[in-house]
């Protein structure tokens, strides 16, 4: 398996997140990638490539300019703000967490205050912005773009091993540890490349098998017919992101029918998961896409500390086999998965069925 990986992610190492009413160690840490990298290396399962910079407009297409400007500049501006208040600041130690949000009884007024700006673009308090969050996130999106470049060169499957993850990031909001939506960036870049190659009616399917609903990816493509978004995830009545991901969200406008949500109850085992995966794959097959992007989360594993499905390590072989039988050029993007000890074995079961 060709695996794209970039060490830049290590610089983004948030210390704590606001969770269950208190500050707790951040689940989304560099150790996640380190564990997977070491395991795949030891098993001889990966050919490693460093993420390179390709000319692409995909990030600017799927995200709003003001949001990108916010992500790029917020940390230094926040530090300057603290310095002006007379604080001694070590930027490497500063993590930004919002506290006030433009919820439905307020208005989404463009904020002047730096606190307002953070709340304006955030969806939760669990996604600290570190000094290197932007650099790491950008490297991860670069990996997704590079992965698409490889599948254009006769490589059937490419895995982009990166963090922070991406599928909760919307056109102009961040959350769930995600800042840029790498799966959306990959799909967009793929369509752009198809158009360049004389295929203006290209289609890409995104299959999201992270435990959490990929609300960001859904939002980005909700009104588009060129990207099918299919997600199997915990019922939002029971799990994050709580406010999106029900089965009646099927797309709008041009995108009507191009969004498929399959929510499952907490406690779901492979028996039921495997059945609904067949349904998801049938929908993708019927869509007839040129390529497939997988948002892969290892947080469906029974040992994940913040999730609630009951998949076992072996089940990921079956999952890989089922998806690989679609026989499509495939880009796999790393999303969640927070039980560090099972991440390597889980990927080592999921990846091999792909050609």
> Which residues are the active-site residues?
168
Site for Zn ion in 287-326 (CB under 5 A): 297, 299
Q: Which is nearer to Zn ion, 211 or 221 (CB)?
A: 211
Beta bridge mates, 49: 4
Question: Closest residue (Cβ) to ligand Q9C?
Answer: 336
Report in angstroms how near the CB of residue 28 gets to Zn ion at its nearest. 10
Contact residue for ligand Q9C among 23, 68, 283, 306 (CB under 6 A)? 306
Question: Closest residue (Cβ) to Zn ion?
Answer: 336
Task: Tokens for 135, please give them.
Answer: 């650099």
Alpha carbon distance, N-terminus to C-terminus of the chain: 8
How far apart, in Å, are the Cα atoms of 44 and each of 1, 37, 54, 221, 294?
10, 10, 28, 37, 22
* Residue 135-174 contact track with ligand Q9C, rule CB under 6 A, x = bound: ------------------------------x-xx------
Task: Tokens for 164, please give them.
Answer: 């922070």
Stretch that binds Zn ion, among 24-32, 211-219, 242-250, 260-268 (CB under 5 A): 211-219
Closest CA to 221 of 74, 58, 55: 58
How far apart, in Å, are the Cα atoms of 40 and each of 59, 293, 350?
29, 21, 11
Count interface residues toward Zn ion (CB under 5 A). 6
Closest CA to 163 of 146, 147, 152, 177: 177
Q: Which is nearer to ligand Q9C, 210 or 315 (CB)?
A: 210
Query: How does DSSP assign 48-117, residue by residue?
Result: EEE-------HHHHHS-HHHHHHHHHHHHHHHHHHHHTT----GGG--B-------TTS------SHHHH
Q: Which is nearer to Zn ion, 226 or 299 (CB)?
A: 299
Cα–Cα distance, 186 to 144 (Å, whole number): 5
* Residue 92-131 contact track with ligand Q9C, rule CB under 6 A, x = bound: ----------------------------------x-----
Q: In what order do the strands lie in the sheet with 204-208?
A: 47-50, 2-5, 157-161, 330-334, 291-296, 204-208, 227-234, 259-264
Q: Which is nearer to ligand Q9C, 12 or 290 (CB)?
A: 12
Cα–Cα distance, 70 to 84 (Å, whole number): 20
Closest CA to 255 of 289, 216, 224: 224
Cα–Cα distance, 42 to 50 (Å, whole number): 18
Report in angstroms how near the CB of residue 169 gets to Zn ion at its nearest. 13
Site for ligand Q9C in 189-228 (CB under 6 A): 210, 212
Residue 235 sits in the site that holds ligand Q9C (CB under 6 A): no
Site for ligand Q9C in 7-36 (CB under 6 A): 19
Contact residue for Zn ion among 146, 163, 203, 212 (CB under 5 A)? 212
Q: Which is nearer to ligand Q9C, 194 or 262 (CB)?
A: 262
Cα–Cα distance, 185 to 334 (Å, whole number): 13
Report in angstroms how near the CB of residue 241 gets to ligand Q9C at its nearest. 8
Stretch that binds Zn ion, among 7-15, 60-68, 86-94, 209-217 (CB under 5 A): 209-217
Contact residue for ligand Q9C among 78, 221, 240, 287 (CB under 6 A)? 240
Contact residue for ligand Q9C among 95, 299, 304, 315 (CB under 6 A)? 299
Residue 297 sits in the site that holds ligand Q9C (CB under 6 A): yes
Pairing of strands 204-208, 227-234: parallel
Contact residue for Zn ion among 78, 190, 211, 273 (CB under 5 A)? 211
Cα–Cα distance, 173 to 259 (Å, whole number): 20
Residues near Zn ion (CB under 5 A) are: 210-212, 297, 299, 336
**Residues within the interface to ligand Q9C (CB under 6 A):** 19, 126, 165, 167-168, 176-178, 210, 212, 240, 297, 299, 306, 335-336
């Amino acid at each position: 398996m060709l695996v794209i990986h970039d060490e830049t992610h290590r610089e983004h190492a948030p210390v704590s997140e606001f969770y269950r009413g208190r500050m707790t160690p951040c689940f989304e840490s560099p150790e996640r990638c380190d564990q997977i990298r070491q395991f795949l290396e030891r098993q001889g399962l990966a050919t490693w490539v460093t993420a390179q910079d390709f000319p692409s407009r995909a990030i600017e297409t799927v995200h709003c300019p003001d949001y990108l400007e916010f992500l790029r500049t917020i940390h230094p501006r926040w530090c300057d703000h603290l310095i002006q208040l007379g604080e001694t600041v070590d930027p490497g130690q500063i993590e930004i967490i919002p506290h006030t949000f433009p919820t439905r009884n307020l208005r989404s007024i463009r904020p002047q205050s730096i606190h307002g700006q953070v709340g304006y673009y955030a969806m939760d308090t669990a996604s600290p912005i570190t000094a290197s969050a932007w650099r790491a996130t950008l490297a991860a999106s670069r990996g997704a773009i590079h992965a698409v470049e490889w599948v254009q060169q006769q490589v059937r499957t490419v895995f982009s091993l990166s963090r922070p993850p991406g599928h909760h990031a919307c056109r102009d909001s961040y959350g769930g540890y995600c800042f840029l939506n790498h799966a959306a960036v990959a799909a967009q870049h793929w369509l752009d490349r198809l158009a360049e190659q004389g295929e203006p009616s290209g289609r890409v399917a995104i299959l999201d098998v992270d435990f959490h609903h990929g609300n960001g990816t859904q939002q980005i493509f909700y009104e588009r017919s060129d990207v099918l978004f299919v997600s199997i995830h915990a019922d939002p009545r029971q799990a994050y992101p709580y406010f999106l991901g029900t089965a009646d969200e099927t797309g709008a406008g041009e995108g009507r029918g191009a969004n498929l949500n399959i929510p499952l109850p907490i406690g779901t085992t492979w028996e039921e998961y495997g059945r609904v995966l067949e349904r998801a794959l049938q929908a993708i097959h019927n869509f007839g896409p040129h390529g497939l992007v997988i948002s892969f989360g290892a947080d469906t594993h029974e040992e994940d500390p913040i999730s609630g499905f009951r998949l076992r390590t072996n089940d990921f072989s079956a999952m890989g086999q089922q998806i690989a039988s679609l026989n499509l050029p495939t880009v796999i993007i790393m999303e969640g998965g927070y039980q560090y000890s099972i991440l390597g074995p889980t990927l080592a079961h999921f990846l091999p069925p792909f050609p």
